[in-house]
Amino acid sequence: MSKISSANFDYLNKIAVNNNREWFAENKEEYLKQHQNMIDFADDLLLRVNKHDNIETLNGKKSLYRIYRDVRFSKNKDPYKTHWAGGFKRATKQLRGGYYFHIAPGNNSMIAGGFWNPNKEDLLRIREEIAIDNSELRSIISNKNFVATFDELKGEQLKTAPKGFPKDHKAIDLLRFKQFIVWRNFTDKEVLSNNFIQLADNTFKTMRPFLDYMSEVLTTDLNGSPIT
């Protein structure tokens, strides 16, 4: 069973204080060691997730995002991230949505998933389904296990009704969403515990009905016929 090491968090804390290329180069060996620690964790987590979902991400290393920051359009010119992050993509056009993990000291870690930036066609299709019948989605996000894990559906929302939908629609609270995301925060103690990988996997399992619902909506038309 792979475990995120306390030395990993020590390294992230150090790079937060020494966020420059000279220090990074001098401590490259430690970076490689902690990067491998995250690869091992991601490999193990991917193996577990593939037992209850179909993931096209090839391995843990491929799931991890680079530690190097894109500073071209940012006022913050620090060259390195002070966290680890990665994601698993569900396989085939029939399975939509994705799984995400963000590991950072200071009780800033989380496991998340959903639809961060749906294109306008997908967003319209989701809203049309909600407008016709929102009962299935409400059932999923009000499930006791879902609420205990994620609290509620999250994501950016419009301040008013989206174009083409009445402001007084009974599902206006759902129609205003521009993103459909769920996440669960974790403390440092939880992340560094021996059972964190099981906690992470269980969190992904809990979001599965939500992802499956969205997948069905986005692969069928308003009549329920498959979109070819």
Q: Is the pLDDT of residue 72 over 90?
A: no
Q: Is the pLDDT of residue 11 over 90?
A: yes
Q: What is the chain's mean pLDDT, rounded?
A: 96
Task: Report the pLDDT value the prediction gives residue 27, as an integer from 0 to 100.
Answer: 97
Q: Is the pLDDT of residue 1 over 80?
A: no
CB 175 within 8 A of CB 162: yes
| pLDDT band at residue 79 using 50, 70 and 90 as cut-offs | very high
For the entire predicted model, the pTM comes to 0.94
The per-residue pLDDT for range 155-200, each reduced to its tens digit, is 999 999 999 999 999 999 999 999 999 999 999 999 999 999 999 9
Task: Report the pLDDT value the prediction gives residue 222, as an integer from 0 to 100.
Answer: 84
Alpha helices in 57-134 (DSSP H): 60-63, 120-132
CB 218 within 8 A of CB 114: no
Count of C-beta atoms within a 10 Å radius of residue 165: 19
DSSP bridge pairs for 185: 110
Task: Report the pLDDT value the prediction gives residue 148, as an integer from 0 to 100.
Answer: 98
Distant-in-sequence, close-in-space partners of 180: CB < 8 Å, separation ≥ 6: 114, 115, 118, 126, 153, 155, 214
The per-residue pLDDT for range 88-117, each reduced to its tens digit, is 999 999 999 999 999 999 999 999 999 999
| pLDDT band at residue 202 using 50, 70 and 90 as cut-offs | very high
| pLDDT band at residue 73 using 50, 70 and 90 as cut-offs | confident
Task: Report the pLDDT value the prediction gives residue 71, as an integer from 0 to 100.
Answer: 81
Q: How many CA atoms lie within 13 A of 201 on its CB side?
A: 19
Amino acid at the residue 171: A
The per-residue pLDDT for range 16-27, each reduced to its tens digit, is 999 999 999 999
| pLDDT band at residue 226 using 50, 70 and 90 as cut-offs | confident
Task: Report the pLDDT value the prediction gives residue 180, as an integer from 0 to 100.
Answer: 98
